[in-house]
Structure formats: C-alpha cells, structure tokens
Structure 1
Amino acid sequence: MIDIVDLHRRCLLGSAEAQSWSDRCASDARSSEPGSGQRLAIVATHALDNVTALWQSRLPSIPHDDSASVVPRDRAHLGDYLNELRAEITELENASEPDVDPSTKRMCRRIACEVDLLLEEANRLGVDL
C-alpha cells in the first residue's frame, strides 16, 4: 500500500536521484572523447532531465509538510540505477487505484518510456551500462 507520505517521499527521492545521475552524465559527456560513450552520456543527460521534471511535476499536487528530505541512494553504475528505477516505476504504476491517482500512473508510464528509450539507445550504440 502506498500512502500520500510515501508517494511524496518517492517523488522527492526520484527527482534527487535522476538529477544526480543527470549531473554525472553531463560531466561524463564533457570529459569524454567523441564517440558512442559521449553520445550516450549526452542522450542520458537529456533523458534524466526529463525524468527529474516528471518527478517534480507531481510534487506540488501532493499534500505534504516541508520538513521531508531524502538522501539519494548511491549506485556505481547507470545501468543499475535505470534497472532499479524501472522496477520501482512498475511497482508504483501497478499500485491499486485508491493508492495512486491517474496522474501519477501517467507520470510512471512517461518515466518508463524515458528509461526504455535510454536503454535501447545504449544497446544501439553498443555501450555497456
């Protein structure tokens, strides 16, 4: 069961983690030699900025107190983050209707699309995440 406090925490955490990974990918893009790795870092930065915005788009409509804070989980590899994000989004999207509203379910589908497209691009470029 997902309550409103948990949903708010998930949105805060999702936003913080996506932003952290976007920053890492942007740094990688600037420091990498031209090629498929740099191309993927650029694409990942854009996709993760979209994911950050999607998470943040839900925050204003969720009742909460302003004292909530989260610490992004540390993962060593982008692939680990994307796979865990995909699993968490699927869980949230599949939650029962009273627990998760239709807007949140739409957000989940959009985040899943961003993740899937990013994984497909990595595969197409032959970059191991």
Structure 2
Amino acid sequence: MTFYRVHLDRGRNAYWAMEEESEELYESAQVLLDPETGSFTEEASERLEYVGSALLVMDRVTLDPPWRGYGLAAVLACEAITRLMADCRAIACSPGITDISSQRLMDRSEWERVNAKIT
C-alpha cells in the first residue's frame, strides 16, 4: 500500500507539490485543490467538515495474485485509512486497475467485469 499525507498548511503549495510527485497525485490535486493557494477548492471546502488540514491520498493497493478476488484489498485499505486519517480533512483515491500485466485481463469481457466490480 502506498499513501501520501499532503499537508496543506506547511508553506509549500500542495497542488504543485503533488504535480511534481506523480501523475496520479496530480489528478487528485486537479479535482480537490486550488492551484493558486494549494488549499482545498471552494467547492471541496463546502462539502468537507473542518476536522484537520491534511489530505490523505491512497495511491496504490497491491495484493499478490493468490490473495486477489476475496475483497481483501478493500478491507485492508479501510483499516489503513482508519489508522492514518487523524488530522485529515479528506481522504482521496482513484479506484482502478494498476496491474494490467495479468493475462486474464487481456480478455475484454474480463477487463469489463473487473472494472464493474471496482465501480
């Protein structure tokens, strides 16, 4: 599992820091943060209670192949979020398939089935 705790109140513009780190983090920043201030956009702020100043981004959860298909990724991710979320105003992730090397996902119908399950 890979998580990032993004501090929005530490002087550096979090929007641009996320852009520098990775494309995936930048996608989250584009949705949630104002590029001028590095803080939550007005729209995001209106939807969030003020309980902290950080943003927790779940970047990646990967299970070894024998453990896949049992719903463990979601359970483990929820447990990790619960432990890491202190002082975070929001938790973000972009669900999707990151391991496309699996031969079983070469079949279009299997790809669509897995994506539907994630959705």
Q: Same fold (TM over 0.5)?
A: no
Q: Which has the larger radius of gyration?
A: 2
Structure with the largest fraction of helix: 1
Structure with the largest fraction of strand: 2
- TM-score, normalised to structure 2's length? 0.29
